[in-house]
Chain A
Amino acid sequence: DGGITQSPKYLFRKEGQNVTLSCEQNLNHDAMYWYRQDPGQGLRLIYYSQIVNDFQKGDIAEGYSVSREKKESFPLTVTSAQKNPTAFYLCASSMFEGTGNQPQHFGDGTRLSIL
């Protein structure tokens, strides 16, 4: 079945540690996204990529980094500079076309907590 796989489902970070969240898709989608979801807030965009080897900052990129070396993969690194990383992280992908009317398909998220 085609879809988006995020791993791990749960992740714990120690102080001063960088952690990497994995996102893989087999939908042959061009665009991929990372969102952060906090209780009582709407999803907020961290980074997005419309093509391999290119990505742009979203609204809350500080303390995060990404790479897009393959079309299928868009890993997110939460660095030690992100002082409040506890959240539910969602990866999404979509076809990239001019109208912007394609839905985003989401993975099942990674819940990151501080030890």
Chain B
Amino acid sequence: KNQVEQSPQSLIILEGKNCTLQCNYTVSPFSNLRWYKQDTGRGPVSLTIMTFSENTKSNGRYTATLDADTKQSSLHITASQLSDSASYICVVRDTGTASKLTFGTGTRLQVTL
């Protein structure tokens, strides 16, 4: 069964600090991995999409890494801001004929003063 596991479940950091969120997956065969940001009460917004051949991808202060051999990804947030407070969801797509997305349960990040 395809699974995506994220850690930690929740995280509190001070504004200006960096943090790293983790994602492990068992989805096979692998197509791509996505990170989304979801503000409370809103829909998810895409941050990055990485394919098998991509190790690192950045979007402003967000940097995602992918290790397809160990089936792990991380999302690093640099110089956090209050507006980074949200849930961050890791999503993996397979390449089957009925290819679909497997969603993690998310990491809830709170950035405080």
Contact = CB atoms under 8 A, between A and B. Distances in A.
Contacts of A92: 43
B44 A106 contact: yes
A109 interface: yes
A103 interface: yes
Chain B: interface residue count, which band? 20 to 34
Chain A: interface residue count, which band? 20 to 34
The binding surface of chain B is classed by DSSP as strand
Contact of A103 (B34, B41, B43, B95): B34
B25 to A, nearest CB: 12
Contacts of A40: 105
A101 B43 contact: no
A62 interface: no
A85 interface: no
Contacts of B78: none
B13 to A, nearest CB: 22
Contact of B105 (A41, A106, A108, A109): A41
Nearest to B94: A100
A42 B4 contact: yes
The 6 closest A-B pairs by CB, nearest first: A106-B43, A42-B103, A103-B46, A43-B103, A108-B43, A106-B44
Interface of A: 4, 6, 40-45, 56, 58, 90, 92, 100-101, 103-109, 111
Interface of B: 4, 31-32, 34, 41-46, 49, 51, 89, 93, 95, 98-106
